[in-house]
Amino acid sequence: MSNEKIKAELEKYEAAVAKAIEKTPERKHLPEQRLYTPLDVAGADEYNEKIGFPGQYPFTRGVQPTMYRGRFWTMRMYAGFSTAKASNERYRYLIANGGTGLSCAFDLPTQIGYDSDDPISEGEVGKVGVAIDSLADMEVLFDQIDLGKVSTSMTINAPASVLLCMYIAVAEEQGVPADQLRGTIQNDILKEYAARGTYIFPPKPSMRIITNIFEYCSKNVPKWNTISISGYHIREAGSTASQEIAFTIADGIAYVDAAIKAGMNVDDFAGRLSFFWNAHNNVLEEVAKFRASRRVWAKVMKERFGAQKPKSMMLRVHTQTAGSMLTAQQPNNNIVRVALQTAAAVMGGTQSLHTNSKDEALALPTTESVTIALRTQQIVANESGLADVIDPLAGSYYVEAMTDRIEKEAWDYIKKIDELGGAVAAIEKGYIQKEIQDSAYKWQMDVENKRRIIVGVNEYTQEEEPPKGLLKVDASVGVEQCKKLADLKAGKPINKMTKGRDNEAVKAALAELKEACKKDESENLMPHILKAVKTYATLGEICNVMREVFGLYEAHVSL
Task: For residue 82, give the CATH number of its domain.
Answer: 3.20.20.240
Provide mean pLDDT across the span 40-45. Answer: 55
pLDDT at 16 over 80: no
Over range 350-364, report the average pLDDT. Answer: 93
Please name the amino acid found at residue 70: G
459: β partners: 455
Q: Is residue 503 part of a domain?
A: no
CA distance 200 to 159: 8
Q: Are 334 and 356 in contact (CB under 8 A)?
A: yes
Query: Is the pLDDT confidence value at 116 over 90?
Result: yes
Q: How confident is the model at residue 466 (pLDDT cuts 50, 70, 90)?
A: confident
Evaluate whether residue 51 is within a structural domain: no
Summarize the confidence of residues 347-375 as an average pLDDT.
Answer: 93
Q: How confident is the model at residue 72 (pLDDT cuts 50, 70, 90)?
A: very high
Q: Which are the contacts of 212, defined by CB distance < 8 A and separation ≥ 6? A: 161, 524, 525, 526
Cis ω on the peptide bond leading into residue 58 (within 30° of 0)?
yes
CA distances to 83, 322, 333, 447 from 457, rounded to whole Å, are 34, 17, 11, 9
pLDDT of 507 higher than 70:
yes
**Which pLDDT score, from 0 to 100, does residue 28 have?**
59
Q: Is the residue at 57 inside a domain?
A: no
Of 299, 520, 529, 335, nearest to 415 (Cα)? 299
Non-local CB neighbours of 308 within 8 Å, separated by 6+ positions:
267
431 occurs within a structural domain? yes
pLDDT band at residue 291 under the 50/70/90 scheme: very high
- What was the pLDDT predicted at 41? 55
Interatomic CA distance for residues 453 and 281, integer angstroms? 12
Residue 38: is its pLDDT beyond 80?
A: no
3-state secondary structure of 318: strand
- Is 285 inside a domain boundary? yes
Helix (H) or strand (E) holding 472: none
Number of compact structural domains in the chain: 1
- With respect to residue 219, please indicate whether it lies within any of the assigned structural domains: yes
User: For the chain, what's the residue count?
Assistant: 559
Q: Quick check: helix, strand or coil at residue 515?
A: helix
Is 257 in a helix, a strand, or coil?
A: helix
**Whether residue 39 has pLDDT greater than 70:** no
Using alpha carbons, select from 38, 31, 98 the residue that is nearest to residue 371: 98
pLDDT tens readout for residues 522-540: 899 999 999 999 999 999 9
**In whole angstroms, what is the distance from residue 90 CA to residue 141 CA?**
10
Question: 550 CB contacts (<8 Å, ≥6 apart)?
Answer: 201, 202, 205, 517
Structural domain harbouring 271: 67-384+391-448
Whether residue 396 is contained in a domain is answered as yes
DSSP per-residue string spanning 489-502: HTT---SSS-----
Instruction: Give Cα 375 distance to the centre of its chain.
Output: 21
Separation between Cα atoms, residue 228 and residue 437, nearest integer Å? 23
Band (pLDDT 50/70/90 cuts) for residue 34 is low
Work out the average pLDDT over 383-403. Answer: 91
**3-state secondary structure at position 364:** strand
Which residues make Cβ contacts (< 8 Å) with residue 522, sequence separation at least 6? none
CB 286 within 8 A of CB 280: yes
The whole-angstrom separation of Cα 134 and Cα 492 is 14
Residue 544 lies in a domain: no
Would the CA dihedral through 215, 218, 223, 227 be positive or negative? positive
pLDDT band at 21 (very low <50, low <70, confident <90, very high): low
Q: What is the mean pLDDT of residues 337-342?
A: 98
